[in-house]
Structure 1
Amino acid sequence: MAELLYRLGRASARRAKTVIAVWLALLVAAGTVYALFAGELKESFSIPGTPTDQVNQTLKQEFPGMGGGAGTVVYRTEDGSAFTEEQQEAIADRTARAAEADGVEDAVDPFATEAERAEQAERLDEGRAEIEDARTQLEEGQAELDSGREQAEAAGMLDQLEEGLDAQQAEIDLAAEELDDAGRELDQGADLMEMSEGIRMVSEDGGTALVTIAFTQSQEEVPQETREAVMAIFADDPVAGTTVDFANDIAMSMPTLVSVAEVIGLIVAAVVLVVMLRTLIGAGLPILTALVGVGLATLTAMSLSGVLEMASVTPILGLMLGLAVGIDYALFIVNRHRRQLKQGVEIGESIGLANGTAGNAVVFAGATVLVALLGLNLTGIGFLGLMGTVGAIAIAVAVLIAVTLVPALLSLVGARILARRERGAPGAGGAGDGAAGARAGGPKAMSAGAARGRAAVAVLALGVIALPALDLRVGMPDGSSEPLESTQHRAYAAITEDFGEGQNGPLLVTAQLPGGPTEETAEAKAADYRFQVAEELYDRDGVAAVAPIDISDDHTLAIYQVLPEQGPSSPQTTDLVHTFRDMEPIHGTGPLGVAGMASGNIDISETLSSALPVYLTVVVGLSLVILLLVFRSLYVPVVATLGFILSYFAALGGVVAVYQWGWLGGLIGLETPGPVLNFLPTLLAGILFGLAMDYMLFIGTGMREAYVHGASARDAVAQGFRAGRSVVTAAAIIMISVFGGFIFSETMMISSMGFALAFGVLLDAFVVRMLLIPALMRLAGDAAWWLPRWLDRILPDVDVEGSALEQRHLRTADGGAATAGDTAPAAEPSDDPVPSGQR
Structure 2
Amino acid sequence: MATFLYKLGRLAFRRRGVVALIWVALLAVAGVGAATASAPAADSFSIPGTEAQRAFDLLDQRFPGANADGATARVVFKAPAGESMKDPANKAAVERTVHALKSGSGQVAQVTDPYVTKTLSKDARTAYAQVSYKVTGFELTDASKDALKDAAKDGRHAGLTVEIGGNALQAMPETGATEVIGIAVSAVVLVVTFGALIAAGLPLLTALIGVGIGVSTITALSSALDLSGTTSTLAMMIGLAVGIDYALFIVSRYRAELTEGREREEAAGRAVGTAGSAVVFAGLTVVIALVGLAVVNIPMLTKMGLAAAGTVVIAVLIALTLIPALLGFAGMRVLPRKERKTLGGAQGSAAGDRPNMGTRWARFVLRRPVVVLLAGVIGLGAVAIPAASLEMGLPDDGSQPTSTTQRKAYDLLSDGFGPGVNGPLMLVVDGRDAHPGQTARSAAARVAKQVGAMDDVAAVTPPTFNRARDTAMLSVVPRSKPSSVETEDLVHHIRSTATGIAQDTGAKTLVTGATAMNVDVSQKLNDALLPYLALVVGLAFLLLMVVFRSVLVPLKAALGFLLSVVAALGAVVAVFQWGWLGSLFGVEQTGPIMSMMPIFMVGVVFGLAMDYEVFLVTRMREAFVHGERPDQAVVTGFRHGARVVTAAAVIMISVFAGFIGSSDSMVKMIGFGLAIAVFFDAFIVRMALVPAVLALLGRSAWWLPRRLQKVLPNVDVEGEGLRTQLAGGPDEPEIQRELVRV
TM-score normalised according to structure 1 size: 0.79
Alignment of 1:517-596 (within 5 A): 526=442, 532-551=446-465, 557-584=471-498, 586=501, 588-589=504-505, 592-596=509-513
Is it true that 1:106 corresponds to 2:110 in the alignment? yes
Task: Determine if contact 1:46/1:604 at 8 Å carries over to the other structure.
Answer: no
Does 533-542 or 386-395 show the bigger shift?
A: 533-542
Supply the AA of the counterpart residue of 2:704: L
Q: How does 1:263-278 map to 2 (within 5 A)?
A: 263-278=180-195
Give the equivalent residue in structure 1 for 2:37. Answer: 37
> Any gaps of 5 or more consecutive residues in structure 1?
115-200, 816-839
- CA distance in 1 between counterparts of 2:46 and 2:251 reads 43
Per the TM alignment, residue 398 of structure 1 is displaced from its structure 2 partner at its CA by 1.0
Contact 2:214 2:235 in 1 (8 A): yes
Corresponding letter in the other structure for 2:475 = Q
TM-aligned CA distance change 1:321 to 1:572, over 3 Å? same
CA drift of 1:282 comes to: 1.7
- The CA RMSD over aligned residues, in Å, is 2.9
**1:614-640 alpha-carbon deviations (Å, 9 max, x no partner):** 111101101220121111111111111
1:71 — aligned with what?
A: 72
Structure 1 position 230, deviation (Å): 4.5
Check 1:93–1:305 CA distance in 2 against 1; reply closer, same or farther (3 A cut). Answer: same
Question: C-alpha deviations, 1:668-714, integer Å up to 9, x for none?
Answer: 11121111111112211221111111111122122222322333223
Equivalent residues of 1:515, 1:554 under 8 A apart? no
Instruction: Report the equivalent of 1:92.
Output: 95
Q: Does 1:245 align with 2:245?
A: no
* Cα distance, 1:678–1:324 mapped onto 2, change above 3 Å: same
Q: Against the structure 1 CA distance between its residues 271 and 616, is the aligned structure 2 distance closer, same or farther, given a 3 Å change threshold?
A: same
CA contact (8 A) 1:365 1:690 kept: yes
Letter in 2 for 1:805: L
Q: Secondary structure at the match of 1:209?
A: strand
User: 2:239 and 2:555 mapped to 1: Cα distance?
Assistant: 29
Deviation of 1:29 after TM superposition, in Å, equals 0.6
1:429 to 1:788, Cα distance in 2 relative to 1, 3 A:
farther
CA deviation profile, 1:143-163 (whole Å, cap 9, x unmatched) = xxxxxxxxxxxxxxxxxxxxx
Query: Secondary structure of 1:588's partner?
Result: helix
1:789 aligns with 2:706: yes
Cα distance in 1 between the residues matched to 2:697 and 2:381: 22
* Correspondence for 2:317 among 400, 420, 430: 400
Question: In structure 1, what is the equivalent of residue 301 of structure 2?
Answer: 384
Aligned to 2:696: 779
Matched residues in 1 for 2:489 and 2:167: separation?
22
Residue 332, structure 1, aligned to residue 249, structure 2: yes
Alignment of 1:82 onto 2:75: no
**Partner deviation per Cα, 1:279-334 (whole Å, 9 max, x = no partner):** 22221221111111111110001111121111221111110011101111111111
Cα distance in 1 for partners of 2:345, 2:682 equals: 30
Residue type of the alignment partner of 1:27: L
Measured after TM superposition, the shift of residue 104 of structure 1 is 4.4
2:727 and 2:270 mapped to 1: Cα distance? 7
SS of residue paired to 1:778? helix
Alignment CA distance shift 1:22-1:511 (3 Å): closer
Which of 590, 596, 603 is equivalent to 1:686?
A: 603
Letter in 2 for 1:11: L
Q: Secondary structure at the match of 1:777?
A: helix
Say if 2:598 is the partner of 1:597: no
Pairwise CA distance, 1:394: 0.8
Partner of 1:708: 625
Match of 2:737 in 1: none
Question: Any conservation in 2 of the 1:337–1:351 contact (CA below 8 Å)?
Answer: yes
Cα 1:243–1:34 shift into 2, 3 Å: farther
Answer yes or no: is the 8 Å Cα contact 2:293–2:532 preserved in 1. Answer: yes
* Residue of structure 2 aligned with 1:467, choices 367, 372, 385: 385
- 1:16 corresponds in structure 2 to 16
Give the one of 455, 479, 488 matched to 2:406: 488
Q: Does 1:760 align with 2:674?
A: no
3-state DSSP class of the match of 1:106? strand
Task: Pick which of 542-551 and 354-363 moved more.
Answer: 542-551
> What is the rounded CA distance, in whole Å, between the counterparts of 1:673 and 1:15 in structure 2?
54
Q: Distance in 1 between matches of 2:639 and 2:390?
A: 38
2:415 to 474, 489, 497: 497
1:809 is displaced (CA, Å) by: 4.3
Contact 1:227 1:251 in 2 (8 A): no
Matched, 1:233 2:109: no
Indicate how the Cα distance of structure 1 residues 308 and 591 shifts in structure 2: closer, same or farther if over 3 A, else same.
same
CA distance in 1, matches of 2:68, 2:143: 17
Q: Aligned partners of 1:306, 1:515: CA distance in 2, in Å?
A: 41
Taking the aligned partners of 1:428 and 1:335, their CA distance within structure 2 comes to: 20
Q: Counterpart of 1:194?
A: none
Q: Match for residue 173 of structure 2? A: 255
Query: Residue type matched to 2:73 in 1?
Result: T
Moved more, 442-451 or 470-479: 442-451
- Give 1:551 shift: 4.5
**In structure 2, distance between residues paired with 1:327 and 1:284:** 10
The answer to whether the aligner puts 1:450 opposite 2:368 as a matched pair is: yes
Offset, 1:388: 1.0
1:165-176 alignment runs, 5 A limit? none
CA displacement at 1:367 relative to structure 2: 2.0
- Could you say if the C-alpha distance between residues 784 and 549 of structure 1 is closer, same or farther in structure 2, counting changes exceeding 3 Å? same
- 1:109-508 matches, within 5 Å, as 109-114=113-118, 201-215=119-133, 222=136, 224-226=138-140, 230-237=144-151, 238-239=153-154, 240-241=157-158, 242-256=160-174, 259-427=176-344, 433=350, 445=363, 450-508=368-426
Give the match's secondary structure for 2:188. Answer: helix
Q: Percent identity?
A: 42
CA displacement, residues 765-821 of structure 1 (integer Å, 9 cap, x when unaligned): 111111112111111122212211121122211211324334544899xx9xxxxxx
Contact 2:79 2:90 in 1 (8 A): no
Match of 1:627 in 2: 544
Aligned 8 A contact 2:78 2:161 in 1: yes
Q: Distance in 2 between matches of 1:379 and 1:515?
A: 34
Q: Partners of 2:620 and 2:133 in 1: how far apart?
A: 62
Partner-residue secondary structure (3-state), 1:320: helix
Spell out, residue by residue over 1:93-140, the C-alpha distance to the aligned partner (whole angstroms, 9 max, x if none): 5535645755544221112223xxxxxxxxxxxxxxxxxxxxxxxxxx
Q: Cα offset for 1:272?
A: 0.8
- The 8 Å contact of residues 413 and 422 in structure 2, kept in 1 or not, is answered as yes
> Given residue 486 of structure 2, which amino acid in structure 1 is its aligned partner?
Q
C-alpha distance in structure 2 between counterparts of 1:711 and 1:541, whole Å: 72
Tell me the secondary structure at the aligned position of residue 378 of structure 2. Answer: helix
Q: Deviations over 1:500-528 (max 9, x none)?
A: 2211111112446797866xx969x94xx
Query: What secondary structure is seen at the aligned counterpart in 2 of 1:800?
Result: coil
**Contact 2:245/2:648, CA 8 A, preserved across alignment:** yes
- Taking the aligned partners of 1:429 and 1:313, their CA distance within structure 2 comes to 54
TM-score norm. by structure 2 comes to: 0.89
Residue number in structure 2 paired with 1:129: none
Deviations 1:165-196 (A, max 9, x none): xxxxxxxxxxxxxxxxxxxxxxxxxxxxxxxx
User: What is the Cα deviation at residue 390 of structure 1?
Assistant: 0.5
Look at both structures and tell me which one has the larger radius of gyration over its CA atoms.
Answer: 1
CA distance in 2, matches of 1:447, 1:516: 74
Cα distance, 1:90 vs. partner?
Answer: 4.8
**Structure 1 residues 788 and 531 mapped into 2: Cα distance closer, same or farther (>3 Å)?**
closer
What is the CA-CA distance between 1:225 and the residue it aligns to?
Answer: 3.1
